[in-house]
Structure 1
Amino acid sequence: MDGSRINSKQGCTFAVYQNYMKPIPSKVLIILAFIAIYIIWGSTYLLNKIAVTELPAFFLASVRFFFSSILLFGLAKITGAKIGISKRQLLNSLIVGFLFMVSGNGIFVWALKYLDSGFAALLASTHPLFVLIMMRLIDKKKMKTKSIIGVALGIIGMYLLVSQKEFVTDDDTLIGILMIFVCIIGWSYAGVFVAKADLPKSPLVSTGYQMAIASVLLAIISFALGEEWTSPLIWSSDVKWSMILLIIFGSIVAFTAFNYLLKEVSTEKVATSSYVNPIVALILGWYVLDEQLTTQSIIAAVILLAGVYFITSRKK
C-alpha cells in the first residue's frame, strides 16, 4: 500500500472523527437542558423525600453537594474548562450557592419531613409568580394584564392548596409550608441575580463552585443543629440509590442544565419548569409513596399552572 493511499485513509478516518466530535448545536443543548430541568427535577422531590425519612436534612444536602462538586470539577478538568475564578466570581458564587442550595434546597429538604413530596412540589410551582414580583421590584418592569391574571390565579391556587385539612394537620406542617415559601423567595431572587452576575463561563465550573460552597455552609448548619452524621455503609439501599440519583442526575445533570439555561434564555422561560415538575412529583409521590392526591389538590394544581402559564406566556 503506497503512502498516498495511507494518507487518504487516515484523512477519511480523521474526517469521521471530526464529524463525531463536532460540538452539539446550541438549540439541541437548550432542548436537552429543558428536558433535564423538567423531568429530572420533578423526580428529585420523591428522591429527597425518601432520603430525608432516614437522614438529617442538612447533612443529606451537604453530602450530596460535596460529592457533586467533586464530580463537576473532574468533568470540567476533562473537558478542558478553566477552573480558576476571580474574587468577584467567588463572591457571586457564594451568594448564589447560599440562595440556591442552602436556602433553596437544604431548607426545602428539611420541610419535606413534614409535607408530602407532591404537595411541596405544588407549592414550589409558585416560583414564576415570585420571579415576576422580583423582576417588578428589581428591574421596575410594569406588570401586563396577563401577569396580573397569573398572579391572581396563583394566589387562588395557593389558597386552595394550603387550606386543605388533610395536609395542614399541625404546627409542624404550617412551619414546613412557611419554610418552603422562604426557599422559593430566595430561589427566585437567585434566578434573577444569576442572569446578570459575573460567574465562570463554564456551567460545570460555575455549578461546581456553588455546590462546593453550599456543601461547607450546609455542614456548618448541620453541626450547629447537632444533626447526627452517619456512614453511607449503614444507610438503607433505598437511601443509597436516592443519594446516587440525586448526585448524578439531580445535581450534576439538571443543575448544570439550569445554570446553562439561565445564561442562554430568559429567566421567565427557565421558570416554566414549574409547569412539569409538580405533575411529575405528584404522580411519583402517589405511585411510589402512596401520598394523598385529593380532588382539591388537582383543582389547585390546574389553577396554579394556569397562573404560571399566564405569567410566562406574556409578550415582552
Structure 2
Amino acid sequence: MSIPRKTFLIILAFFAIYVIWGSTYLLNKIVVTEVAPLYLASIRFSTASILIFIISKALKFKLVISKRQFLNNVFAGFLFLVYGNGVFVWALKYVDSGFGALEASIQPLMVLIMMRLVDGKKIKTSSIIGISLGVIGMYLLVNQQQITFQENSFIGIIMIFTCVISWSWGSLFVARAELGPNYFVNTAYQMLCSGIILFIVSFLFGETWLSPFQWSASAQFSMVLLIVFGSIVAFTAFNYLLKEVSTEKVSTSAYVNPVIALILGWYVLDEQITGQSILAAIILLTGVYFINSKRTIRPRMNGR
C-alpha cells in the first residue's frame, strides 16, 4: 500500500525540521566562533534567498506576489530570521549550542500560552501539568554553576528566551496570514528581506565583516550546510507544515532538536553534558509531551 503524496511530503518536512534543524545549533556555533553573528545570519539568508529564486524561476514558479503578501512575508521573516535566528546566533557566543537548543525547546509552551491569549483557547489539565514541568525543567537548566559563572551567560539565556517568544509569535502569524500560493517562493521573500535587514543592523552595530575566503575550512563548510539544508530545505519545510498541520504539532520539533544538538555538541565540540542538564531535559521535554499529548491535530487550509 503506497503512502499518499501529501502524507509523504509531511513526513519528509517533519524530518527536515526535526533532524536538520537539530544540527544547525552546532553549525551556527562553529561559524560564530569566527564570524560576527548578525553578519553570519545576513550572508546565510541572503545567499539562500538568491538560490531559491533561481530554482523557483527554473521550475517556472510564479514569483510575483501582492503587496499584502509581501508585507506579511517581511514581518514573518523578521520574527523568524532577523530576531528569532539572528539574535539567537549572537547569544550562542555566550552559551553552549546544546544548552541553547534545550532552552529553545520551551517553544511549545510559549505557543500554547499565546494561543490562549490570542484565541482564548482553553488550556487543558495535561497542558497545565506540562507548563509546570517546563518551568521546573528550565529552572534546573539555567541554575547550574557551570553555566551561571560563564562570562555574559545570563545575557545569552535571556536573549534566547526572547528569541523563543519571537519564533512562537511568527509560527502563529504564518499559520493565519496570507503569504502567497507557493511555500518555496514565500521562503525566498522572507529570507531576502531578512538578509537585507540583518546586513543593515550588522553595519550599524559595527560588526567586523570578514570575507568568507578568510574563514577556516570548517566554518566555510558549516555555512554551506546552513544555507542549503538549514535554510533552503528545512525552512521551506517549516513554512509548508505551518499551513498543513496545526501550529502545536509543528512546534514539536522542540522534542528532537535539543537531543540532536546536545549529542553533536558533545561529540564534535566536546561540550559538557552535566547530570543536571540531562535531568532538566527529561523534565522539560516531558512537560512538552504533556502539552501536545491527546491533542487533535487539525489540518489547515491554504490561505487561512
TM-score between both structures, scaled by the size of structure 2: 0.95
Bigger Rg, which one: 1
8 Å CA contact 1:144, 1:314 repeated in 2:
no
Give the SS at the match of 1:166.
Answer: helix
8 Å CA contact 1:92, 1:198 repeated in 2:
yes
8 Å CA contact 1:99, 1:190 repeated in 2:
yes
Tell me which amino acid in the other structure corresponds to 1:106: G
Alpha-carbon deviations, 1:121-178, whole Å to 9, x = none?
Answer: 0000000000001100001101001110110000000000000011121461000000
8 Å CA contact 1:147, 1:314 repeated in 2:
no
Alpha-carbon deviations, 1:225-249, whole Å to 9, x = none?
Answer: 1011121111100100010000000
Tell me which amino acid in the other structure corresponds to 1:260: Y
Give the SS at the match of 2:147.
Answer: coil
Tell me which amino acid in the other structure corresponds to 1:295: G
What stretches of structure 1 move > 6 A for 4+ residues in a row?
A: none
Aligned to 2:47: 67
8 Å CA contact 1:147, 1:310 repeated in 2:
yes
Tell me which amino acid in the other structure corresponds to 2:59: T
- The match for 2:179 among 177, 184, 199 is 199
Show structure 1 runs of 5+ residues with no match. 1-23
Aligned to 1:300: 280
Separation in structure 2 between the aligned mates of residue 301 and residue 201 of structure 1, nearest angstrom: 38
Tell me which amino acid in the other structure corresponds to 2:14: F
Count of matched residue pairs: 293
8 Å CA contact 1:75, 1:204 repeated in 2:
no
Aligned to 2:202: 222
Aligned to 1:123: 103
Please, which moves more after superposition, 69-78 or 32-41?
69-78
Alpha-carbon deviations, 1:84-121, whole Å to 9, x = none?
Answer: 01111111111101000011100000000000000000
- The match for 2:74 among 77, 94, 119 is 94
8 Å CA contact 1:232, 1:240 repeated in 2:
yes
Give the SS at the match of 1:210.
Answer: helix
Q: Are residue 49 (structure 1) and residue 25 (structure 2) matched?
A: no
Separation in structure 2 between the aligned mates of residue 80 and residue 152 of structure 1, nearest angstrom: 49
- The match for 1:184 among 158, 164, 178 is 164
Separation in structure 1 between the aligned mates of residue 173 and residue 69 of structure 2, nearest angstrom: 13
Aligned to 1:279: 259
Alpha-carbon deviations, 1:44-90, whole Å to 9, x = none?
Answer: 00000000000000000000001000111112112221100111111
Please, which moves more after superposition, 171-180 or 72-81?
72-81
Displacement, 1:314? 3.6
Separation in structure 2 between the aligned mates of residue 315 and residue 49 of structure 1, nearest angstrom: 35
How many percent identity over aligned positions?
62
Separation in structure 2 between the aligned mates of residue 106 and residue 84 of structure 1, nearest angstrom: 27
Give the SS at the match of 2:152.
Answer: helix
Aligned to 1:77: 57
Give the SS at the match of 1:251.
Answer: helix
- The match for 1:174 among 138, 154, 163 is 154
Displacement, 1:201? 1.6
- The match for 2:239 among 234, 259, 265 is 259
Alpha-carbon deviations, 1:189-221, whole Å to 9, x = none?
Answer: 000010000001211100000000000110111
8 Å CA contact 1:76, 1:205 repeated in 2:
yes
Separation in structure 1 between the aligned mates of residue 241 and residue 262 of structure 2, nearest angstrom: 25
Show structure 2 runs of 5+ residues with no match. 297-304
8 Å CA contact 2:38, 2:90 repeated in 1:
yes
The Cα RMSD (Å) is 0.9
Alpha-carbon deviations, 1:265-304, whole Å to 9, x = none?
Answer: 0001101100100000000000000001000000000011
Separation in structure 2 between the aligned mates of residue 151 and residue 283 of structure 1, nearest angstrom: 25
Q: Are residue 234 (structure 1) and residue 214 (structure 2) matched?
A: yes
Aligned to 1:269: 249
Displacement, 1:315? 2.7
